[in-house]
Amino acid sequence: MRPTQPPPSNTESTVPENISPQSGPGFNVTVRQVPNLVLALRNATESASPGQTVQLPLTVTNTGNKVDQFRLETDLPAEFQPSFSLAQSGSDTGLPILVTPQIERGAAVEVMLNLRVPETATDGQQRRFFVRAASQSNYQVLRVADGAISIVAAALSAVSNVSSASVMPGDTFTQTITVRNAGSASARNARADFVFDPNFELVNATPSPIAYDRPSRTAIWSLGDLSARGSREISVTLRALPNALAATNSLGRGMLRTPSIPNASNFDSPSITIGRVPRAEIGAVSVGLTSTPGDTFYIPFVVRNPGNSPDAYELRVVAPGAPIGTIYADSNSDGQHQESESAITQTGQVEPQGGQFPMLLQVRIPGNTADRQQFSYNIVARSLASNRVASEASTVLTVATPRVRVRTEQVSDANAPGDTIFYRLVLINEGSGLAKNLAVAESLPDALQFVNSDPSLSTQDAPGNSQRFTWRVAELSPGDTAVLRVAVRLRPNLPADARLTTSHTLSYQDSNGNNYQGQ
């Protein structure tokens, strides 16, 4: 500071001229620190791609009057991973800093603002930010520099169209996939992956896929480099599988990939409807059964749905001339009828391709039905979805009853009274059913006396003084025979030329206890 000059005085000096003036101490002035700085970004705007690491140089100049340090800040969010590092000789040291080193008056230091563009950043997006530097000696002294990051990226998208919105199983149709790069940067080595719905199979494609995995139904196409605003088209011929289920589903889902974009992008195809194909199938568990008069039969049948959509079926029994048949639901699929299982005229809903509905046909065989009589039962199952679709299954019931007769075979002749005669009784089951509890009651004329038999008869069945004996057989299978050998004696005093005849009656039962008579 300059000292203030005193005003001139008109008074004369009282100091003698021969005396010199005396010098003494003055006053001290200390110059205070005045911090100041200049902050400059080398490039106010920078372009970068998603996932790219960027370094933005900035210069901090100390324009204050003393050595100073400056604290650095930015408003870039954490997803950009911002940090500051010191640049020396034009290269980044890599060590993060928050405060510059001491800077001499008039000197400058170069600092790098490091950041990484988020992978989720999209093309055309711009992020504005600022960098702030504040003096360590006076935080109120600060400077701000504004900047911006512009995102330049590829932007892949795809549109899928089909030639038909509805197909039937076995039909072929065309899918067109159009891949576009709507971004402002090229998509390098782009590829498209597409996973098809299980109801469809790939027939061919233009261009051909570089890979097709049939078990997973995944096709991969290489699209090469796709320039900004460029596009590629893929034409695919597909077939609906013959056993495709009736439904409306998306044809599949695709994915687009390129090293130029860290994340893949997905796209869906439009929905396509597979039409209904009603089918019917009914089967008899046994196509031929044997029954006995009086039997109540429950014959198992199964209705299956080989169609491609759920369906129910109308049921009808066709059996001309046969006993009435009634259909019951076999709710627990055990082949046996329970009281809780009701009579039905149609099935419940049967699931497609493997769904089945078990049922039982009840038939009561009349007790007077003849042996070997046959009854044919035909069950028709008709689709409720389409009355033109039907299936039928048949079974034949053959009635088996015993049919037994007695044959008498004379083994020896007698010429004179007192002689012994031998003969045989032969039981023959000529029927197709088992005969049980057979009883042959043989009556002898008075001129004949029962001697014995083989096999022996009990005294109850062959009393000693009786002209009647009974031969009993427990059971006789179809085609089998049983033989009783009998010895009788001619009584004395018989007149010459007398003709003697035995007689018999036969009774037996079948396995249901029905009674039969025979000769």
Q: Give 138's pLDDT tier (boundaries 50, 70, 90).
A: very high
- The whole model's pTM is what? 0.66
Q: Where are the alpha helices (DSSP H) in 318-462?
A: none
Provide CB contacts within 8 A for 19, sequence distance 6+: none
- Number of Cβ within a 10 Å radius of residue 440: 21
Rounded-to-10 torsion of CA 342, 347, 350, 354:
90
Q: Give 261's pLDDT tier (boundaries 50, 70, 90).
A: confident
26 has pLDDT over 80: no
Rounded distance, CA 394 to CA 378, Å? Answer: 4
Beta-strand pair 172-181/156-162? antiparallel
| Both structure tokens of 74 | 């930015």
- For residue 78, what is the DSSP state? G
> CA–CA distance from 8 to each of 4, 5, 15, 288 (Å)?
12, 9, 16, 152
Q: pLDDT, tens digit, for every residue of 100-126?
A: 999 999 999 999 999 999 988 888 999
Domain 37-151 = CATH 3.30.70.100: no
User: By the 8 A CB rule, do 169 and 65 touch?
Assistant: no
Residues of the chain within CATH 2.60.40.10 domain(s) are: 37-151, 281-399
Tell me the average pLDDT across 429-452: 94
Please state which of the four CATH numbers 2.60.40.10, 2.60.40.1930, 1.10.940.10, 3.40.50.720 is assigned to the domain occupying 281-399: 2.60.40.10
The SS3 assignment for 259 reads coil
Dihedrals φ, ψ of 223, to 5°?
A: -105, 0
Helix, strand, coil shares, percent, the chain, to 5? 0, 55, 45
Tell me the average pLDDT across 402-424: 86
Domain 156-274 = CATH 2.60.40.1530: yes
Residues of the chain within CATH 2.60.40.1530 domain(s) are: 156-274
Q: What is the largest CA-CA distance in the chain?
A: 223
Residue among 69, 67, 37 at smallest CA distance from 145: 37
Does residue 280 or residue 498 have the better pLDDT? Answer: 280
**pLDDT value at position 7?**
47
**pLDDT value at position 17?**
53
Q: End-to-end distance of the chain based on CA atoms, in angstroms? A: 163
Dihedrals φ, ψ of 487, to 5°?
A: -120, 125
Provide CB contacts within 8 A for 499, sequence distance 6+: none
User: By the 8 A CB rule, do 142 and 132 touch?
Assistant: yes
Supply the Cα-derived Rg of the chain in whole angstroms: 58
Domain 404-518 = CATH 3.20.20.70: no
6 has pLDDT over 80: no
Residues of the chain within CATH 2.60.40.740 domain(s) are: 404-518
Does residue 106 or residue 415 have the better pLDDT? Answer: 106
Tell me the average pLDDT across 12-40: 72
Tell me the average pLDDT across 292-313: 95
12 has pLDDT over 70: no
Provide CB contacts within 8 A for 203, sequence distance 6+: 172, 237, 238, 239
Beta-strand pair 142-151/45-48? parallel
